[in-house]
Amino acid sequence: MKKGFDPEKYLEEQSKFILERVNNFDKLYLEFGGKLLFDMHAKRVLPGFDENAKIKLLHKLRDKLEVIICVYAGDIERNKMRNDFGISYDIDVLKLIDDLRNDDLEVNSVVITRYDNQPATKVFINKLEHNNIKVYKHRSTKGYPSDVDTIVSEEGYGKNPYIETTKPIVVVTAPGPGSGKLATCLSQLYHENKRGKNIGYSKVETFPVWNMPLKHPLNIAYEAATVDLKDVNMVDPFHLETYNKVAINYNRDIETFPVLKRIIERITGTESMYQSPTDMGVNRIAFGIIDDEVIQEASRQEIIRRYFKTGCEYKKGHLDLETYNRSKLIMEELGLKSTSRPVVKPARDYAEELKTKYPEKNYAQVVAIELEDGTFVTGKTGAVMDSTAAAVINAIKHLSKIDDEIHLLSPAILDPILNLKKNKFKSPNPTLDCEEVLIALSISAAFNPIAQVALDKLGALRNCEAHATTILNSNNEKTFRNLGIEVTSDPEFSSDSLFYNN
């Protein structure tokens, strides 16, 4: 894969700029938007970007910072999921704490935002406290967003407990958007100001990129990634009016800026140093771009991936038609088609070939994998394994130069697993999925050297692209994610089974 981004250059520029901002204050509350860890969107649209660049950035500054994690109580109650990992927000908070500690970063506390004694949230709070993690409960802010007098009073932010911090940089992060990071920062500004401290607020938001064109594919890819939030990139009118310079921001930040500026000025009693929402940011991502053509093409491919994902989520009932249509409009804006993703056509063509050749059989689901050298390998669902497993086995056989006629898996291993699924577990779909087949392959490798050769090639599938002609089940999606394969699916179910398609 050709690189378009220099992560070291970015880290150097970003850390330098944050430290310059810190020097203006006794303490800086730094809101981190997007994913703090495993930012796979950034990795996909910025080839060369390290998905853990933000953590590495914090590690460079670790002696000067501590971390507060926010999570919205309503997200815990409805078991909101982080789609890229398939885990709920509360579990992601626990994982984030572990990951931060493993990187020698100090976790100050967890803030439960908009707390209203929700039962599932109480259980989560108990779990945290029983593990000696400080928890602060913030209720909804009275008067927010329009009644600034009430917001900046003992009835507003004053109702929230003060979070004790000791470092000059306080990073405020969360599992996802709408978690209350901004409200937590402003609440702390209120309490710190009452204690006579000169406190600042800034934001690290990777996208949209403020100093790149509005219609650059990199910025449009951000819109594609947030169609469910209805985010729209815009020229920052405040920045344009003040500095006569074009800067790109998004609708929510621009809409809330006037109120946010008034709140900060009311808290501090002085005119804000920020004249635009862009001023508040410390984003230096554009300085790491070394090949714009590579970035543009990677961004276009991400827009297509997001289109497929939105279509599948709509089919499952998780998104509305308006959101799905918005993703279509973004595709049309750049003149993209689903087949502009190279791996799509081989999958669809093979599915059509099978339907024509074997009309009596259900060969609806086919998976194609595009290998690093541009080769396409396909797999179909058969009597023993499903299409994801078949595609992966065919791919590692190709990479190992193992003849198609050679069987890597012994019936002595496969048959007992198939029997267990069918007769003991009463599975509605007894064929083996990708994870089950790879476990069987690892067992075979213990006594079959050829199987071991193939197994050793699994690492070569990382960063490969794949497409399925029907929606994958959650277990196969997880296995592909663990293998590092970027997979998309046509928004069609593989069967009429309501249970299996769930």
Domain boundaries, given as residue ranges, for the chain: 7-206, 342-489
């405040």: which residue's tokens?
238
b/e map of 257-277 (b: 16 or more CB within 10 Å)? beebbebbeebbeeebebbbb
Structure tokens belonging to residue 330: 């973004």
Structure tokens belonging to residue 130: 């029983």
CATH, domain range 7-206: 3.10.630.10
Whether 334 contacts 328, CB under 8 Å: no
Q: Is the pLDDT of residue 359 over 60?
A: yes
Q: Is the pLDDT of residue 31 over 90?
A: yes
411-457 pLDDT, tens digit each: 888 888 888 888 777 777 778 999 999 999 999 999 899 999 999 99
Q: Thinking of the domain 342-489, which architecture would CATH place it in?
A: 3-Layer(aba) Sandwich (3.40)
Percent of the chain surpassing pLDDT 70: 97
pLDDT of residue 497: 65
Which of 294, 295, 322 minimizes the C-alpha distance to 310?
322
Amino acid present at 164: E
pLDDT band, residue 132 (cuts 50/70/90): very high
Distance CA 234, CA 248 (A): 6
Beta bridge partners, 81, equal 88
Residue 81 DSSP code: E
Handedness of CA 493, 495, 496, 500 (dihedral sign): negative
φ, ψ (nearest 5 deg) of residue 327? -65, -35
pLDDT of residue 344: 98
Distance CA 344, CA 334 (A): 18
pLDDT band, residue 496 (cuts 50/70/90): low
114: number of Cβ within 10 Å:
19
What's the full length of the chain, in residues? Answer: 502
Q: Is the pLDDT of residue 383 over 60?
A: yes
pLDDT of residue 500: 56
- Rounded to the nearest 10 degrees, how much is the dihedral formed by the CA atoms of 269, 270, 275, 278? -60
Which helix (H) or strand (E) segment holds residue 170: the answer is strand 169-173
Whether 234 contacts 248, CB under 8 Å: yes
